[in-house]
Structure 1
Amino acid sequence: MEKPNTPPRTVTTRSQVISPPTPEVKRRIEENRLKAKALREQSIARELASSSNNTNRTPSGFIANGRTDDTAPQAARKFRKYVDHDFSKMTDTKGGFLNEEDDPWNKALHAPKEGDKPAHMTLKEWERHQLLKGLRNRKEGPFEPGLSVLGRGDRKCRECKSLEIDFVWEEVFKCRVCNGCKEKFPEKYSLLTKTEAKEDYLITGPELKDGELLPHLDKPNPHKSHWHDMMLFLRYQVEEYAFKTKWGSAEALDAEFEKRETEKKKRKEEKFKSKLKELKKKTRTEAYRRGIAGDGRGGKFGDAISNGKHEHEWGQTVENERWNECKNLL
């Protein structure tokens, strides 16, 4: 009897049938694509318009270079759009405002007082009057003294006998010298600050403030405009007072300078030794406290022994598996 043959199982694969989009779906897709394209073109146009409006152009029509690297020239301090304030050095007015000393750039605080301006003068006339007053004090512009044949022997340069002397120096320092000789002899006619006169020539502050003893020229401080004015002294006048009047000679000044430096070094060493002594005392106190707070068995290995020499007793040399020879501490 023959075995009936079983027909092979038919494998059916389920394939997902995708229906084509309807005309309505195609229409919506196309509308969305056109809307997105239009929005993108509008945004690009706005960016181009804003960039063209913000472009910095020179008077000749060229576009200014907008470099922001470190090599690019930086803006001058007076042309910046902000003001630096050091809040650690400012006065707390408790009212949310700055006082006149802390805010020197505020024109309202530094405006001329109404009481100083005459009533019959306008503000423009008053400003012109102040300008002429400043030129008159500095002897500049129309108030600069001219050359005259009268008194020619009295008003000459002390070095080259020139008539073109610096009239400001003549008035302040009582020294007649021209600008050329000031540059030619800097060892005599250079200006010294108050700090340099104190440190180099050992002149005290009251002596420097005495205008009859040492005349000085006041100039605005170049570091901060709201600081006190600089006091500038003429070098040869300072040296004459220091060498002849105060110390007697340059050698005496050098000896006094070395003496003060030695005393300063000695005080520094004494201060260091006192701090070191205090540190040692504190260390001994801490060691004593730790010893008291311990178990009371005395010292430990490595502790220093007072009034004696710290020595160890070693046993005989034995061989070990790990090392060839070793000794044990007894």
Structure 2
Amino acid sequence: MQAGSELSVDEALDLEAEIAAESNSEQYEQIELTDAQKSTIERNRQKALLLKKARASAHPYSKNEKGSPEKNTIKVQGTRYIDTGGGFLLEEKAAEENAKPVELKENVGPVQIPYRPTCEECSNIFDDSFLYQSFEYPVCDGCRDRDDKHSLITRTDAKNEYLLKDCDLDMREPPLKFIMRKNPHNMRWGTMKLYLRLQIEKRALEVWGSEEKLEEELEKRDEKRSKAKIKKYNKQVKALRMAVRSSLYDRTKSATHTHEFGPEKPLPDQGEDTYTRKCTTCGYEEIFEKM
């Protein structure tokens, strides 16, 4: 650098940053950092580089660029265009939309070595897996049993099989993790919430206390449901019998004739409470059931 030359603002800031970095590096050399602190420093450095890159690649059509934008603006049939200088015109609205600031999306870094989970099946340390990422369950992909131990269950089946309520799944701490999937039977039925069966079983034990109490409650509800079905079936059969027997009665004769029935005779073949009687004048025979 020549003596007496003046530095621009950007050059002065860069020089100051380099001096500060050198002084900080000399101080940090005397301090031993842990792996977690080194990881944090590395992430902050990457963020700073991304931010610097985004500022450097600012859109050339931004209103903050040097020079007056009025000189490059052309109005054609009521629409304003910007002369890009590259042989084509750009509509002013499109240029404003393209000039929006760049949004930086921070990518989640890999799991650091001190914090890597250990698989509960094989006791090996792994970086990431489907069960750990979706349900925070420490099992690697190699030990995952899709069909039995690590199978998934829908929200409706979890509530019916383990007698859980919505508050048990969503409000009780900690809330259970789930993933969203399209319904395989019909795509128009919406998405399903899938839970890990092991976590559902553990939550059911927390609610009911033990497997024996859960089994007793399931048996009670099944017995109550079966009794209700039998009662409904008997009621329908009885109504059908009454409808069939009443259809045998000839209503056209009731206006001019009154039956005079003889003694009642039981019909054990058709039921204990089934009887028959016969009219002594017209011979009409009636089968009925005593209530």
TM bucket (normalised to shorter chain) is 0.3 to 0.5
Structure number with higher strand proportion: 2
RCO (CA 8 Å, sep 6+): is it higher in 1 or 2?
Answer: 2
TM-score, normalised to structure 2's length?
0.47
TM-score, normalised to structure 1's length?
0.42
